[in-house]
A and B are shown apart, each in its own frame.
Chain A
Amino acid sequence: MTSPVIRRLAILAMAAAIPALPLAAQELRIGLASEPSSADPHFHNLGPNNQLRRNVFESLVGTDEAQQLTPQLATSWEPVGENGWQFNLRTDVTFSDGSPFDAYDVIYTVCRIPGVPDSPSLFTTYTGAITGFEVPDPHTLIMLTAEAYPLLPTEVSTFGIISARANGVDGSTIAFSPEGCGDLNYPATQAFNDTTAAIGTGPFLMESFRRGEGIELVRNPDYWGEPAPWERVTMLPLTSEGPRVAALIAGDVDLVENPPLQDLERLRGDETLRVVQGISNRVIYIHLDHEQVPSPMIRGVDGVNPLQDIRVREALTIGINRDAIVERIMGGVAVSAGELLPPGMFGAHEEGDLPPAVFDPERAQALLAEAGYPDGFGITLGTPNDRYINDAQVAQAVAQMWARIGIDADVDASTASTFFSRRNAFEFSAYMAGWGSGTGEMSSPLKALLATRDPDRGFGGTNRGQYSNPAMDDLLTEALRTVDDDARQELLRSASRMAMADFAIIPLHYEVTPWAMRATIDYAPRADQYTLPYDVRPAQ
């Protein structure tokens, strides 16, 4: 136990000593808002895990702050033939155990992904399209798909490459089959967690991974790119908002993820701190039940589902004052949404082309009366209360606004795990949730949230409102086959416009992700909300 005075003196002494040290010797301490469930890059397709993975394991294709694709382990890629993509790999890359990186490591990785034991969420979403490989030379890789598949470069940016040689496998002997490649001495998830298998090509090496305590990374001295600016990175799980901010203010950490909105004003006023924020790829939306008659959480109607009437859906959409929610509940740290992906991202409309629905309570009431509900009806809005920024408050504000257009609205808020299992059982007539576009383009939310449910094609996986519009499905299917970027973008925009004109779903706002840090460092906000120490730089 050190006395506060001594600790303060020590901090002062450290603060005085830091400028004297060479920059490269510095340590970066990060307060994480949510903790990775594992250090295994393929165990759990979850934001915090993917964020951690990018420090140690790299993928063929990288993504920049706006989720645009950038070269990483592949220097370039182009479509070949009818249904293939050729990736030209870097020749100067070695794994941290010294083994060289080549095309066979990619095949080994894709082989491991479907068979990770006990995985809560596999990466097969992103490898499922691959039907075969061709390896003309060890640094050229051709991935084959069943049909033309424009999203392949985006999808290979989501999983990290592990080494075949480090696990005692000669990659050239692997017989790849989408059903599985046999037993190839895959490292166990536990081996990644105790760092013995944490052998990657990334800018950092994993020194320790202890759940609940923290993660320590050290600089990879043999990194092929520019060396990381930090000798050592410590990531502390500080999942409660208050302690996270307090740790930053007290100087225990240098950077925190997601400082709570209500404290941003205060943090901005502090000259020793810096707050950056950027629009994220996550939209908060309300999904409506298009299918069940009668719908489970609608009251005061006789055996019909009023949400099947487009006038009712429009009334519910224009009855919400998005700007008020953004200003009052989100503290200005959000952007009103007109579709499912913010302007500037692939497949989204340009700023102003598809603006958020205009708040018009009078017209909403008129529409309800026209649809035969002059006195409204009762509806319960389901929401998680610990998943999205101020989620339960936003849902309550929506219920408040619906109440004002004559709907007897109330809110059913529950913890995320309960909420999602109830949602997946179609217990809600209307529910609020969020969708972050993992691929950073429009096909992700359209495919997951609005395409007609079809498990075989992976369509409508999260379409728990059971919306179905064959014309939109066709546009989306066409887009997913179109390799030409401009044509694909136009198809995606048309599909999005069609769904919005049908009031299929009610977009509320795009989350804006804030980071707070010492004024001596800087970080460019990322749309995918990841905090990557490699990109945290000393301020200019």
Chain B
Amino acid sequence: MSVSEQSPPVAPVAAPRDRWRTINLVAGLAVIATLGILLSGQSIAQFPARVILLIGLVVLAAGLLRGRAHKFFSGPSAYFATASLLLLIVLAIFATELSPQNPYDLRQLDIMDGRLPPGSTTFDGAMTFHLGTDEQGRDILSGILYGLRVSLSVSIFATLAAMVIGVVVGIYAAWAGGRIESILMRIVDFQLSFPSILVALMLMAAFGRGLDKIVIALIIVQWAYYARTVRGTALSEARKEYIDAARGLGLPAYRIVFGHLLPNCIPPLIVISTVQVANTIVLESSLSFLGVGVPITQPSLGLLIANGYGYMLSGQYWMSMYPGVALLAIVASINMVGDRLRDTLNPRLQK
């Protein structure tokens, strides 16, 4: 069957489409930039940065679903998953404003408040711990909100960065061909032959703890997926008539690759990257759970679960359970949204 019918060659000059592309590009850059700012711990313009981040994400999603919204929202589960994902993202982005305590500020913690069950108050009654506290006296609710933020921002940033690297390598391999392609793809094969959790564990053991280090480790273990996917798609696209046509017009290689080849490789990328964000969250949580991820004074969801894990048998369930529920919710909703996206974007499933 001919795929070109479904994904037509890039139209010469289509004004609305170009506008959307620019908007998406700006939104994507804004998301990466603000995530970078937030991850690097710059406190300047924190609140505006977060608002921009939220707007950027929403615009990206809107651009993606433009014209396909009815197909995407074809059942109640799509509405449910999108709503819960949006809610969790808003909670994560505005954790600072929403949470009753800053769980990363040691001055606000008191071990005398440690291991209180849900609904307890501090000694002076100034604050209620709606979901209880962990053994450091950290409010679990605040910990979850901040932990969501760490998990989401680390995963989105690492996924986007891994995608950029993977796309560059994959497209270059497909376009260059020959020995370069073989070498690059053998590197990819080599990388994919190791379980990512194992590689990430070794990297973290070598790097030490830290948000920046976990992002680097996650990028290193993920880029190969994108490289392989992009190369496959690019190889099949490169044989099509519109590329020949572009060549015939005498366009320079960079314009053919970035203007024609790359845009047509995007849909499968979006699908894997959505699922991959969920995988990255799980990977980051696993690393933190195993004690090599985020710093212990800045717990993510995985570390919160690990901290409470030892108390499960003794009945103090809330320390592990609520962060676990939050992790489940975020991973499940991302996966459901990813599924819907795949169904929406995959031409083969169009009937």
Contact = CB atoms under 8 A, between A and B. Distances in A.
Given A403-B107, A411-B297, A413-B295, 18 more contacts: A242-B312, A260-B310, A265-B314, A266-B315, A324-B112, A325-B111, A328-B111, A328-B115, A329-B111, A392-B296, A393-B307, A396-B106, A396-B296, A400-B107, A400-B137, A403-B106, A410-B106, A412-B208
A414 B209 contact: yes
B106 A400 contact: yes
B132 to A, nearest CB: 15
B135 A385 contact: no
B267 interface: no
A289 to B, nearest CB: 19
24 contacts: A242-B313, A260-B310, A260-B313, A262-B310, A262-B316, A265-B314, A266-B315, A324-B111, A329-B114, A392-B296, A393-B135, A396-B106, A397-B136, A400-B107, A400-B136, A403-B107, A410-B295, A411-B297, A412-B209, A413-B291, A413-B296, A414-B208, A414-B209, A414-B292
Nearest to A409: B106
Identify which of A324, A400, A402, A415 gathers the most chain B CB atoms within 10 Å of its CB.
Answer: A400
Contacts of B296: 385, 392, 395-396, 411, 413
A411 B111 contact: no
Enumerate the 3 nearest inter-chain pairs by beta-carbon distance, A residue then B residue, closest first: A403-B106, A262-B314, A403-B107
B205 A328 contact: no
Nearest to B298: A410
A11 B65 CA distance: 62
A414 B296 CA distance: 9
Interface in A240-271: 241-242, 245-246, 260, 262-263, 265-266
Contacts of B205: 415, 418
B322 interface: no
Interface in A405-422: 409-415, 418
Nearest to A383: B296
A386 B297 contact: no
Identify which of B105, B106, B109, B312 gathers the most chain A CB atoms within 10 Å of its CB.
Answer: B106
Given A262-B314, A263-B313, A266-B313, A385 B291 contact: yes
Interface of A: 241-242, 245-246, 260, 262-263, 265-266, 324-325, 328-329, 385-386, 392-393, 395-397, 399-400, 402-404, 409-415, 418
Interface residues of B, number: 28
A49 to B, nearest CB: 25
Interface string B308-347: 0011111110000000000000000000000000000000
B244 interface: no
B107 A404 contact: yes
B310 A399 contact: no
B313 A400 contact: no
A246 B137 CA distance: 28
Interface string B177-195: 0000000000000000000
B1 to A, nearest CB: 50
Contacts, number: 81
B110 interface: yes
A22 B114 CA distance: 49
B313 A245 contact: yes
A404 B108 CA distance: 9
Contacts of A396: 106, 136, 296-297
Interface of B: 105-107, 109-112, 114-115, 135-137, 205, 208-209, 291-292, 295-297, 307, 310-316
B110 A400 contact: yes
Contact of B311 (A262, A402, A403): A262
B313 A328 contact: no
Contacts of A412: 208-209, 295
A316 to B, nearest CB: 15
Contacts of A400: 106-107, 109-111, 136-137
Identify which of B109, B314, B315 gathers the most chain A CB atoms within 10 Å of its CB.
Answer: B314
A181 B312 CA distance: 56
B107 A399 contact: no
A246 B106 CA distance: 34
Contacts of A403: 105-107
Nearest to A406: B107
A410 B294 CA distance: 13
Contacts of B297: 396, 399, 410-411
A536 B176 CA distance: 73
Contact of A418 (B106, B115, B208): B208
Contacts of B313: 242, 245-246, 260, 262-263, 266
Nearest to B296: A413
Contact of A328 (B107, B114, B314): B114
A133 to B, nearest CB: 46
B106 A399 contact: yes
Identify which of B111, B291, B316 gathers the most chain A CB atoms within 10 Å of its CB.
Answer: B111
Nearest to A265: B314
Nearest to B106: A403
B201 to A, nearest CB: 10
B30 to A, nearest CB: 31
Contacts of B292: 414-415
A239 B185 CA distance: 41
B111 A397 contact: yes
Given A396-B297, A399-B297, A411-B296, A241 B112 contact: no
Nearest to B135: A393
A325 B114 CA distance: 11
Contacts of A386: 291
A529 to B, nearest CB: 20
Contacts of B110: 400
A263 B314 contact: yes
A412 B135 CA distance: 18
Contacts of B106: 396, 399-400, 402-403, 409-410
A386 B290 CA distance: 10
B101 to A, nearest CB: 13
A385 B303 CA distance: 12
Nearest to B105: A403
A410 B295 CA distance: 9
A413 B109 CA distance: 18
B324 to A, nearest CB: 16
B135 A329 contact: yes
Contacts of B208: 412, 414, 418
Contacts of B136: 393, 396-397, 400
A245 B314 CA distance: 11
A422 to B, nearest CB: 8
A325 B137 CA distance: 12
A241 B105 CA distance: 30
Contacts of B112: 324, 328
Contacts of B107: 400, 403-404
A396 B209 CA distance: 15
A324 B112 CA distance: 7
Identify which of A260, A328, A385, A411 gathers the most chain B CB atoms within 10 Å of its CB.
Answer: A328
A402 B111 CA distance: 13
B295 A411 contact: yes
Nearest to B114: A328
A325 B112 CA distance: 9
